[in-house]
């Protein structure tokens, strides 16, 4: 019998991405951020989340996509990593879905090398591919900065 996994889904441009629901603390509407001088380009700023300072990472930049339109506001996914909380800025949030481990495959070779380290693999769904994000890898530049 195959194991099921629940994933919180979201989009960066047209890329459909999932993250283990157990790693997602909450999803927030756009928040005010404090800018960080000399931070890496993918660090959008710092967020005060109920007294905790959380680094906000723009996944568009982290994944190598062009900047979002000036009038497009990202959603904030607050994610737990081994080193603490991180806010991942995403274009839009999808649903929580269940995937079967039998649909999982390793990361395709045609994904750029810089992005391949962030994608743990893909799930082949009937209508599209779901890219599984490695939240710890996505957060590394911010945590090391």
Read off the pLDDT of residues 6-57 as tens digits, 9 standing for 90 and up.
999 999 999 999 999 999 999 999 889 999 998 888 899 999 999 999 999 9
Check: pTM over 0.85? Answer yes or no. Answer: yes
- The third-level CATH classification (topology) of the domain covering 4-144 is OB fold (Dihydrolipoamide Acetyltransferase, E2P) (2.40.50)
In terms of DSSP bridges, do strands 129-133 and 119-124 run parallel, antiparallel, or are they unpaired?
A: antiparallel
- Residue 139 — very low, low, confident or very high, per pLDDT cuts 50/70/90? confident
In terms of DSSP bridges, do strands 119-124 and 104-105 run parallel, antiparallel, or are they unpaired?
A: antiparallel
pLDDT value at 142 more than 50: no
pLDDT recorded at residue 1: 53
Residue 49 phi, psi dihedral angles, 5° rounding: -110, 95
Residue 40 DSSP class: -
pLDDT recorded at residue 117: 86
Cβ proximity of 56 and 87 under 8 Å: yes
Alpha carbon 38 to chain centroid, angstroms = 23
- Residue 145 — very low, low, confident or very high, per pLDDT cuts 50/70/90? very low
Contacts with 28 (C-beta within 8 Å, 6 or more apart), sequence order = 75, 76, 78, 87
Read off the pLDDT of residues 75-108 as tens digits, 9 standing for 90 and up.
999 999 888 899 999 999 999 999 999 999 998 8
Residue 103 DSSP class: G
Cβ proximity of 59 and 138 under 8 Å: yes
Q: For the chain, which residues make up each domain, given as ranges?
A: 4-144
Helix boundaries (H) for 2-134: 59-62, 113-116
């Amino acid at each position: 019998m195959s194991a099921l996994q629940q994933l919180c889904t979201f989009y960066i441009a047209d890329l459909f991405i999932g993250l283990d629901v157990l790693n997602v603390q909450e999803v927030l509407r756009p928040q005010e951020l404090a800018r960080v001088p000399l931070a890496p380009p993918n660090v959008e700023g710092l967020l005060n989340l109920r007294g905790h300072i959380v680094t906000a990472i723009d996944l568009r930049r982290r994944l190598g996509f062009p900047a979002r339109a000036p009038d497009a506001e990202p959603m904030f996914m607050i994610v737990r990593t081994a080193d603490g909380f991180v806010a991942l800025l995403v274009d839009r949030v999808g649903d929580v879905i269940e995937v079967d481990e039998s649909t999982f495959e390793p990361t395709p070779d045609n994904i750029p090398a810089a992005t391949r380290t962030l994608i743990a693999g893909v799930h082949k769904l009937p209508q599209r591919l779901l890219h599984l994000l490695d939240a710890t890898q996505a957060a590394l530049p911010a945590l090391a900065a």
